[in-house]
Structure 1
Amino acid sequence: MEDKRTAFRKLHEALGAFIIPNPWDIGTARILAALGFPALATTSAGMAFSLGVAEGAVSREDTLDHCRSIVAATPLPVSADLEKGFGDSPQSAAETIRAAADIGLAGCSLEDHTGRRDDPIYDFTLAVERIEAAVEARRSLPHDFVLTARCENFLWDRADLDDTIRRLQAFEKAGADVLYAPGLRDLRTIRLVCKAVTKPVNVVMGMPGATFSVAELAEAGVKRISVGSGLARLAFGTFVNAAREMRSAGTFRFSDQAMSFAELEGFFTGTTKT
């Protein structure tokens, strides 16, 4: 376990950028591992969709069980998307870190999103206090753990770059290991965020209207690239389109695009070549 955590830290210290894709169940985790990715990250939305509920509706117990299953699925280090954690207070943020570490995660992210549409972003002071408490909990662990602090402004119609940078800089000062502002739409903005901080920056690809290459993102200063719910939404979208074809047209052309049984099974038996 310590080797996985050490390896995860070293990914953030190496040259260039790396992709950390987001499986939503054991099968997708094993496929991504077989394809050679160096680490995995859970997706809160993908997890919720796989359970048939909306994002944010999964209980603490079910979330931890899900993360535990992804950790056990492969030898890779796993970072968890734990949304705002398991409460609003700094104390709950600290408890989230301890719970995440206890199930073998190599890291996790915490958001400044409140979970309330009428008041979506935590007050600046509380947001920083939550990360300070999380950092204190991380430092008390007997092993390494990578804490990612997220500013959610751009996902909640608060396209305020100055406030986003202010928050990320405060999270960095508080001791966060990785900084993350999902929803940045252009390379200029991404570059400004990366230049404003000294810790590694995570960006998310797979959102409509913002698709840049690893080389472009690395040149802008990005260290880590995740895809959030992108792979899950792609899979569910393909499934729904196939179901609609059957229901409305009475045809089954979708099967022409399906992966063969043997190739898919090969990912789980070690016989599929990557």
Structure 2
Amino acid sequence: MSGVEVFRSLHRRRLLGDPLVLPGPWDAASARVFVEAGFAALATPSAGVAASLGYEDGAVPADEMFAAVARIVRAVDVPVSADVESGYGLAPKELVERLLEAGVVGCNLEDSEGGVLKDPRRHADWLAEVRAVAAERLFVNARVDTFLHGDGNPELAIERAALYVAAGADCVYPIMAPADVLPLLRSGIQGPVNALARLDGAGPSPTALGELGATRVTFGPGLQRWAAHALLGRAAELKP
């Protein structure tokens, strides 16, 4: 089985309360830690990678992001999906080529740019082009930013998700959706649903998110920020 086939199979037949948990490595070292801990696949966070490269979220040049992702892929022997924001303005053919060159099995693609929601039909058309070029070589996770940059209307999130699924998205990601809305989203969305887990104890655990309807759980830059906070604490202890 190819890497993308393995990755795709990990999303299938998930039991309630048993979501696919994908930690987000920000460099090769963190990727190896997650694999050593036993995770079957990884999903890079754009904000976490940006921090590791010394950039603000959304400010990483495409070349540097793809190079960073490629280093992560080379460091591990499990499938890796990459958050490539809204595609860096690349045409679908070039975007797919660069993802495949980096060695990833999937990608996360946002439906907003500069904090503004894209027209959902135009974005769906673009996603359909990405799918046509990629065929089955990439697992496409289509982010739905209604709760991040929109009015938080779950029905509108479901409408956007339906367009993206029809365009060929393998999974949809209503980022920042409140936990109590997940059952509604799950009932209205065809296919896998990605939920964001928080590490500050303020939100449900990955298992609880799975019980609410999440097929898979990611953490955004949460793990990178947690690691940086832990390092700061240890560094403070070392100060003379």
Q: TM-score, normalised by structure 1?
A: 0.80
Which segments of structure 1 move beyond 6 Å, counting only runs of 4 or more? none
Any conservation in 2 of the 1:135–1:174 contact (CA below 8 Å)? Answer: yes
| CA drift at 1:93 | 3.7
The 1-side partners of 2:171 and 2:97 are apart by: 18
**Superposed counterparts of 1:122-133, under 5 Å:** 122-133=118-129
Between the aligned partners of 1:238 and 1:209, the Cα distance in structure 2 is 16
Q: Could you tell me how far apart the structure 2 residues matched to 1:121 and 1:35 are?
A: 37
The runs of 5 or more residues in structure 2 that have no matched partner are: none
Instruction: State the one-letter code of the partner of 2:166.
Output: K
- How big is the shift at 1:173? 0.9
Q: Deviations over 1:135-193 (max 9, x none)?
A: 11121xxx63211111112122531222211100110111110111110122x311111
Of 185, 192, 198, 1:200 maps to 192
* Equivalent of residue 232 in structure 1, options 201, 224, 234: 224
Q: 1:214 to 1:235 in 2, by over 3 A?
A: closer
Number of residue pairs aligned between Structure 1 and Structure 2: 236
The residue that corresponds to 2:147 in the other structure is: 154
Residue aligning to 1:10: 9
1:242 is displaced (CA, Å) by 5.0
Instruction: Kindly indicate whether the alpha-carbon contact (under 8 Å) linking 1:185 and 1:210 is maintained by their aligned counterparts in 2.
Output: no
Between the aligned partners of 1:97 and 1:199, the Cα distance in structure 2 is 22
TM-score (norm 2): 0.91
CA contact (8 A) 1:201 1:224 kept: yes
The change in CA–CA distance for 1:210 and 1:173 in structure 2 (over 3 A counts) is: farther
Cα contact 1:86–1:93 (8 A) shared by 2: no
**8 A Cα contact 1:97 1:108, kept in partner:** no
Q: From the CA coordinates, give the structure whose radius of gyration is larger.
A: 1
Q: Deviations along 1:223-270, whole A, 9 cap, x unmatched? A: 111111000111122334555xx4xxxxx279xxxxxxxxxxxxxxxx
1 or 2 for the larger relative contact order (CA 8 Å, sep ≥6)? 2
Equivalent residue for 2:85?
A: 83
Runs of at least 5 residues in structure 1 that lack an aligned partner in the other structure: 247-251, 255-274
The AA in structure 1 aligned to 2:178 is R
- 1:214, distance to aligned residue in structure 2 (A): 3.3
* Cα deviations by residue, 1:23-71 (Å, 9 ceiling, x for unpaired): 1011100000000001001111011111111011111111110110111
Superposed CA deviations along residues 97-153 of structure 1, whole A, max 9, x for unmatched, are: 232122211100110111x24xx11122222122111111121xxx63211111112
CA distance in 2, matches of 1:80, 1:136: 19
CA contact (8 A) 1:67 1:80 kept: yes
Equivalent in the alignment of 2:96 = 97
Sort the Cα spacing of 1:182 and 1:208 in 2 relative to 1 into closer, same or farther, 3 A: farther
Residue equivalent to 2:177: 184
Secondary structure in structure 1 of the residue aligned to 2:2: helix
| 1:136 corresponds to | 132
Alignment of 1:216 onto 2:180: no
Aligned to 1:32: 34
Instruction: Select which of 152, 155, 163 maps to 1:170.
Output: 163
SS of the equivalent of 1:198 reads coil
Structure 1 pair 112–209 and aligned structure 2 pair: CA distance change class (3 A): farther
Amino acid at match of 2:120: F
